Amino acid sequence: MNEFDLIRRYFAERGVRRADVPLGIGDDAALLTPPPGQSLAVSVDTLHSGVHFAPDTPPADLGHKALAVNLSDLAAMGAEPAWATLALSLPAADEAWLSAFADGFFALAERHGVQLVGGDTTRGPLSVTVQVHGFVPPALALRRRGARPGDHIFVTGSLGDAGAGLAIEQGRLALAGPPAAFLVARLHRPTPRVAAGLALRGLASAAIDISDGLSQDLGHILAASGVGAELEIEALPLSDELLASGIDRPWRLAASAGDDYELCFTAAADADLGVGDALGCAVTRIGRITAEPGLRWLDADGQACEPPPRGWDHFARGEA
Ligand code: ADP
Ligand code: MG
């Protein structure tokens, strides 16, 4: 099977067809028609074998995750996903691998009405790059810089699950059965909070998705907004499965482990978030924005407590 057969079989003849794509896969470039009056929100992420995922990661999970982490960035901007491109570097044209990878990718793409409109396929070490394109009226985009003192801080879903999933995968946490399956699935198959991002347009004062850990990612909101924060460690939402895992001090994972792909956002104290209904997932208040810079952690009694480690930094080689 040559490169062109491979592209046709696994990527060109699949997935949704959108009316705003006059020309998709198959020419030198795709032709796309963004809606008038909206900004194009564009984001790209690369997943390298051995860096972002173990070489034996199930290919369907990888197809899902490569798209999910990008949709999560669109969600954090309040953008509506539309199109994706996919650059694949593969050591060999392994048809079983490609077929499973494409299944994982297209299942998620269809759920969000995303059309794959182009890409690149090369031979080399296993690596997956996805770029996504979405739409948002520029005045409604959720940016990192709008948090104000007195705003409340929220997160969607639960935190720390993917960190526990990674510990299980790496043999650092001995756990089996349904809780282990749940935690590993949270690592491999994150749920991009697209509906929440759309519902937060005009409500959230700032937003980010949690890829590198809450402390670190909230830190980006604080830096961009020129504010600080107090977080209540006991308020962090922990899943039943994380609590059942027996992991020591699970809130440390919730505060600093990456890969959960939940949204962290701020909103004025009197903002009506519709009690989470429109957001399509749980939303938990975890603290408040302060004028005083820096991030402070409070225990159940409101006393300052030890800060958890900050999160993942590729260039600092681990937990900074
Ligand atoms: P060119 O040499 O002009 O860059 P290619 O031969 O790389 O074109 O690609 C041919 C067509 O297939 C293009 O439309 C390109 O976007 C698409 N394509 C290539 N690889 C992929 C892929 N992995 N997923 C989706 N589309 C792809
Ligand atoms: Mg060309």
Q: Which helix (H) or strand (E) holds 242?
A: helix 240-244
Q: Which amino acid is at 34?
A: P
Distance CA 151, CA 229 (A): 9
Distance CA 178, CA 170 (A): 18
Low-confidence ranges of the chain (pLDDT < 50): 317, 319-320
* Contact assessment for residue 288 and residue 151, using Cβ atoms and an 8 Å cutoff: yes
pLDDT of residue 317: 46
* Largest separation between any pair of C-alpha atoms in the chain: 65
- Take atom 2 of ligand 1 and give the residue whose Cα is closest: 28
Which listed ligand is nearest to 23 at the C-alpha? 1
* Contact assessment for residue 97 and residue 35, using Cβ atoms and an 8 Å cutoff: no
Residue with tokens 């603290």, as numbered in its chain: 287
Query: In b/e form, how buried is each residue of 98-109, taking b as 16+ CB within 10 angstroms?
Result: bebbbebbbebb
- Residue 156, helix vs strand vs coil: strand
Q: Where are the alpha helices (DSSP H) in 15-174?
A: 59-77, 95-111, 161-169
pTM recorded for the entire structure: 0.94
pLDDT of residue 310: 58
pLDDT of residue 5: 84
Distance CA 21, CA 99 (A): 24
Which of 1, 120, 122, 126 gets mutated to test ligand 1 (max ligand atoms within 8 A of its CB)? 120
Distance CA 288, CA 236 (A): 13
Q: Which amino acid is at 192?
A: P
Find out whether the beta carbon of 5 lies less than 6 Å from any atom of ligand 1: no
Pairing of strands 294-298, 304-305: antiparallel
Give distance in angstroms: CA of 31 to centre of ligand 2.
Answer: 14
* The dihedral sign for the CA sequence 129, 133, 138, 141: negative
Q: Where are the alpha helices (DSSP H) in 132-205?
A: 161-169, 177-188, 194-199
Q: Which two tokens stand for residue 294?
A: 């820096």
Q: Which two tokens stand for residue 82?
A: 């539309």
Give distance in angstroms: CA of 117 to centre of ligand 2.
Answer: 14
* Contact assessment for residue 86 and residue 163, using Cβ atoms and an 8 Å cutoff: no
- Take atom 27 of ligand 1 and give the residue whose Cα is closest: 119
- Take atom 13 of ligand 1 and give the residue whose Cα is closest: 26
Which listed ligand is nearest to 63 at the C-alpha? 1
* The dihedral sign for the CA sequence 204, 208, 210, 212: negative
Q: Which helix (H) or strand (E) holds 250?
A: helix 250-256
Distance CA 83, CA 253 (A): 33
Give distance in angstroms: CA of 87 to centre of ligand 1.
Answer: 9
Give distance in angstroms: CA of 318 to centre of ligand 1.
Answer: 35
Which of 10, 25, 130 gets mutated to test ligand 1 (max ligand atoms within 8 A of its CB)? 25
For residue 86, list its beta bridge partners: 119, 130
For residue 164, list its beta bridge partners: none
pLDDT of residue 320: 40
* Contact assessment for residue 193 and residue 157, using Cβ atoms and an 8 Å cutoff: yes
Which of 6, 7, 116 gets mutated to test ligand 1 (max ligand atoms within 8 A of its CB)? 7
* Contact assessment for residue 315 and residue 308, using Cβ atoms and an 8 Å cutoff: no
